[in-house]
Amino acid sequence: MKAEPIYRCWAEVDLNALRENLAWLRHRVGPEVGIMTVVKADAYGHGLKAIAALLMQSGTDVFGVANLNEARDIRAVGRGWPILMLGACLPEERPAAVKDDIMPTLSTLAEARAYSKLAVALDRTVKVHIKVDTGMGRLGVSAEVADRLVRAVMRLPGLVMQGLYTHYSAAEDDARFSARQRQRFASLVNRLRHAGILIPSIHANNSGALLHEPETLFNLVRPGLMVYGIVPPGKRRSTLPLSRYLRPALAFKCRVSLVKEVPRGTPLSYGGTFVTPRKMKVATLTAGYGDGYLRAGSNRAWVLVGGKRCRVLGRITMDQMLVDVSRVPRVRVGDEAVLIGSQGRESITTTELAEWGQTIAWEVLTSITYRVRRVYKGASAA
Ligand SMILES: *Cc1c(COP(=O)(O)O)cnc(C)c1O
C-alpha cells in the first residue's frame, strides 16, 4: 500500500466541478457558440497541465493563454486544439509562435506585416485574431479604424483572418460603459458583414460579460473565472442563481501545528499588532504569505478549523499564521484548516478571502505559490 503523502499546505482541485462548470457554460451559451477556456497563469492557479487535459476531455473548443510557455504546456498535453495568445507577442517570440501554430493577437499593421513575412519565410499560414479596443485601452486597434486593418490582413500573404475580438473593461460593474463598448464592437461587426467580410471567430465575452452582456455572445466566448466555478462579483446584479450551477473547483488547506492557551494581554506575531483582549486558545497554522495566503488579510481574514470560523490574529508571516480557536473545543495538532473551501457546514469563498486581502478573486487564485501542492480529485484525476 502506498503511504499517504503528508501535506502542510495544499490545494485540492475537484476536476468534476470543472467539468460540470464547463457543461453548464455550454448549456448557457447554446450549441452555436464555441468556448475558449482561458487558462493563463497556470490555469488560474489550478495547475495548467491537469486542467488542460480535463478541458480537452470535456470538449473545450479553444484555449486562451498569456504566453508561449503556457501554449507549449498545452501542446504537451494534447495536440490539435487551437490556442490564442491573448497578449501581444514580443518581436523575438513571433517565430516560435508561428512554428508552434499559436494564433497571435494583432493590434497594428506593423505586427500584421511582421507575421506575414515570417509566414512566407517559414512556409506557413498564420491564423490571426485582430483585437479591437472598444474602451479597455490596453491592446487593440481602435474600433473606428479596425475595418482597414482587417482588409489589410486579408491582403497580406500567409495570413488567415481567423478572429476578431474585443474585451470588456467593467462588464460586472458598469452597464453604461459596457453598452458603449458593445455598440462600438457590434457596429464594426455589422459593417464588415455588410461588406461581405466573414470572419470565422468573433468574440467579446469574459465571465463578467457572460453574466451581463448576453447580446455579445457572437460565436465564441472567453470565460476564465467562471470555468473555475467562481462568479465575478460586481455592482451589476444577475438574476441567475449561479451558485446553484457553478461549483468552485479549488479548496486551499493547511494544518494546525501547535495549539496553546495564552493569557490576556499577549502580543501575537510580528509587530504585536494583535494583543489578546482575554485569555485565548490560539492555533498556529502551516500556511503563510509564502504559500500565497495574502498578508493583507492579517487581523482581518477568517479560516475554518473544526467546522468553525476562526479569526486570523496578528500579522500573517511567510510560513505560518495564528488563529483564534477559543470556540473550537477539540482542536488538535495535525487538524485540517480550510483557507478556501468548506468544512462541516461552514465555507469560505475565494471572493470573501479576496475582500479580506483587499484584492480580487483572480489575484487570490494566481497568488497561490509553487510550494502548494495541487491535489486532484474527481473521475479523471488518475
Ligand atoms: C483573462 C481574460 C479573459 C477571462 O477573463 P475572466 O474574467 O476570468 O472570465 C478573457 N479575455 C481576455 C482577453 C483575458 O485576458
Count, in order, helices (H) and strands (E) of the chain: 12, 20
Q: What is the pLDDT of residues 199-221, one digit of tens each?
A: 999 999 999 999 999 999 999 99
Indicate the Cα dihedral angle 141, 142, 145, 151, nearest 10°: 30
Torsion angles phi and psi, residue 373, rounded to 5: -65, 135
What's the CA-to-centroid distance between 35 and ligand 1, angstroms? 12
Find the farthest-apart pair of alpha carbons in the chain and give their distance in angstroms, rounded: 78
**Mean pLDDT to the nearest integer, 177-200:** 98
Specify the pLDDT at position 243. 79
List Cβ neighbours of 97 (8 Å cut-off, separation of 6 or more): 68, 71, 85, 89, 104
Sign of dihedral through CA atoms 254, 362, 208, 38?
negative
226 Cα nearest atom in ligand 1: 9
2 pLDDT higher than 70 = no
pLDDT category of residue 239 using cuts at 50, 70 and 90? confident
| Closest alpha carbon to 338 in 359, 318, 323, 327 | 323
Percentage of the chain modeled with pLDDT above 70: 98
Residue 250 CA from chain centroid, whole number = 11
| Full DSSP string of 40-65 | HHHHHTT-HHHHHHHHHHTT--EEEE
In whole angstroms, what is the distance from residue 9 CA to residue 207 CA?
A: 29
381 pLDDT higher than 80 = no
Q: What is the DSSP letter of 171?
A: T
Indicate the Cα dihedral angle 373, 374, 378, 382, nearest 10°: -70
In the chain, domain spans: 32-228, 250-377
What is the residue with the minimal CA distance to atom 15 of ligand 1? Answer: 86
* Average pLDDT score over the chain: 96
253 has catalytic annotation = no
**Is any ligand 1 atom within 6 A of the Cβ of residue 86?**
yes
Domain formed by 32-228, architecture: Alpha-Beta Barrel (3.20)
**Mean pLDDT to the nearest integer, 39-58:** 98
Percentage of the chain modeled with pLDDT above 90: 95
Q: What is the DSSP letter of 225?
A: G
**Mean pLDDT to the nearest integer, 90-119:** 98
In whole angstroms, what is the distance from residue 210 CA to residue 147 CA?
A: 26
Specify the pLDDT at position 42. 98
Residue type, 325: V
What's the CA-to-centroid distance between 372 and ligand 1, angstroms? 24
Question: Active site residue: 40, 127, 131, 308, which one?
Answer: 40
Neighbours of 148 (CB within 10 A): 11
Specify the pLDDT at position 368. 98
* Pairing outcome for strands 274-275 and 280-285: unpaired
| Closest alpha carbon to 240 in 218, 219, 205, 210 | 210
Q: What is the pLDDT of residues 348-370, one digit of tens each?
A: 999 999 999 999 999 999 999 99
Give the CATH number of domain 250-377. 2.40.37.10
Q: What is the DSSP letter of 165?
A: E
| Full DSSP string of 259-326 | EEEE-TT-EESGGG-EE-SS-EEEEEES--GGGT--GGGTTT-EEEETTEEEEEES---SS-EEEE-T
Q: What is the pLDDT of residues 286-302, one digit of tens each?
A: 999 999 999 999 999 99
What's the CA-to-centroid distance between 222 and ligand 1, angstroms? 6
**Is any ligand 1 atom within 6 A of the Cβ of residue 287?**
no
